[in-house]
């Protein structure tokens, strides 16, 4: 199973999901769905309801349905990854039929919409980019920053594709190489960088300034290009290339800091940067009115 864990929203309630690239199929956390349909206030309540429902389904002869349901590790409310019962769309529709809830029909339509969007994105990746653009803009990001962020995603994907060609494994090895690139160009590990910005689960890149993002792209693009040229073998060879790619951006960072006399790395996160921009805009908007008032005095 190749997972792309994601949170989907139904009526502002979170549904944990995982996308199987090989089967091109969504898997949904059954407990999360039960919680939405039955208005359970706690995860424990939803788990108990699902346990009773499984027993009832078994008594109804739905053994095949329960047997085919899988378990995947998903992030729980405490931040830890735990095995969770999941179901694909077909299995979930069968489970929903056994739950008396006025939300059943709207939920079925929501399932169809989620599946349609992902299939469309697989056929036409540009649609995924458009949706990402819309999401960032809704969160209040500057449009110029958003276009840079989308470019950084493309460069990142090209780098991970290159790593796979060199025999690097997804997951832990990807994370170690990324950490090495970050440490080499910024002087901090990814965790130290996030701590500086006061982040926990938030995406580090979503909280970078324009310059931080550009240098991250430079580091990863350099790593990609060096890897293509040198063709390292496996994880150990790619580690040295990651260090070299990070050094390219590290040199650029130091040169810029020397010219400006100011550090490139900032402790500000997205919320703080967006608040600063809004404040500057509001302050600028008051200048004409203030100037007019001064002229009348």
Q: Write down the pLDDT at residue 282.
A: 43
Rounded mean pLDDT, 216-235: 96
SS3 6: strand
Q: Write down the pLDDT at residue 296.
A: 47
Position with higher pLDDT, 179 vs 42? 179
The residues, ordered by sequence, that sit 6+ positions from 232 with a Cβ below 8 Å of its Cβ are: 166, 238, 240, 241
Q: Write down the pLDDT at residue 2.
A: 41
Rounded mean pLDDT, 243-260: 96
Position with higher pLDDT, 192 vs 132? 192
What is the spatial order of strands in the sheet that 70-75 belongs to?
6-10, 13-20, 25-29, 81-88, 70-75
CA 287 to chain centre: 39
Cβ-in-10-Å burial (0-12, 13-18, 19+) of 288 comes to exposed
Tokens of 4: 């792309």
Q: Write down the pLDDT at residue 130.
A: 63
Cβ-in-10-Å burial (0-12, 13-18, 19+) of 266 comes to middle
Q: Write down the pLDDT at residue 181.
A: 97
Q: Write down the pLDDT at residue 7.
A: 62
How confident is residue 127, by pLDDT bands cut at 50, 70 and 90?
low
Q: Write down the pLDDT at residue 279.
A: 44
111 pLDDT above the threshold of 80: no
22 pLDDT above the threshold of 80: no
Position with higher pLDDT, 263 vs 276? 263
Average pLDDT, the chain: 79
Q: Write down the pLDDT at residue 274.
A: 58
How confident is residue 283, by pLDDT bands cut at 50, 70 and 90?
very low
261 pLDDT above the threshold of 90: yes
How confident is residue 19, by pLDDT bands cut at 50, 70 and 90?
confident
d(CA 238, CA 8): 34
Position with higher pLDDT, 243 vs 76? 243
251 pLDDT above the threshold of 80: yes
Rounded mean pLDDT, 125-136: 64
| pLDDT one-digit tens code per residue, 44-69 | 888 898 888 888 888 777 766 766 77
Half-sphere exposure of 219 (CA within 13 A, CB side): 26
DSSP 230-265: H---HHHHHHHHHHHHHHHHHHHHHHHHHHHSS-S-
């Amino acid at each position: 199973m190749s997972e792309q864990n994601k949170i989907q929203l139904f009526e502002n309630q979170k549904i944990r999901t995982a996308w199987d690239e090989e089967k091109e199929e969504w898997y949904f956390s059954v407990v999360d769905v039960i919680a939405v349909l039955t208005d359970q206030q706690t995860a424990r309540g939803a788990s108990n309801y699902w346990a009773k429902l499984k027993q009832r389904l078994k008594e109804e002869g739905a053994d095949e349905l329960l047997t085919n349901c899988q378990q995947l590790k998903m992030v729980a409310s405490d931040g830890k990854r735990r095995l969770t019962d999941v179901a694909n769309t077909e299995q979930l529709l069968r489970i929903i039929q056994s739950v008396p809830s006025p939300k059943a029909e709207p939920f079925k339509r929501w399932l169809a919409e989620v599946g349609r969007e992902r299939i469309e994105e697989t056929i036409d990746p540009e649609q995924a980019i458009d949706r990402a653009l819309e999401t960032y803009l809704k969160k209040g990001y500057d449009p110029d920053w958003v276009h840079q962020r989308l470019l950084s995603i493309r460069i990142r994907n090209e780098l991970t594709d290159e790593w796979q060609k060199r025999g690097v494994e997804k997951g832990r090895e990807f994370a170690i190489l990324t950490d090495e690139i970050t440490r080499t160009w910024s002087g901090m590990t990814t965790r130290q960088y996030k701590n500086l910005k006061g982040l926990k689960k938030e995406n580090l890149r979503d909280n970078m300034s324009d310059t931080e993002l550009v240098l991250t792209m430079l580091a990863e693009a350099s790593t990609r290009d060096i890897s293509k040229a040198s063709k390292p073998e496996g994880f150990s060879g790619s580690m040295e290339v990651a260090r070299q790619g990070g050094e390219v951006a590290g040199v650029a960072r130091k040169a810029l800091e020397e010219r400006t006399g100011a550090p490139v790395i900032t402790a500000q996160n997205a919320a703080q940067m967006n608040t600063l921009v809004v404040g500057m805009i509001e302050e600028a908007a008051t200048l004409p009115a203030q100037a007019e008032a001064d002229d009348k005095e």
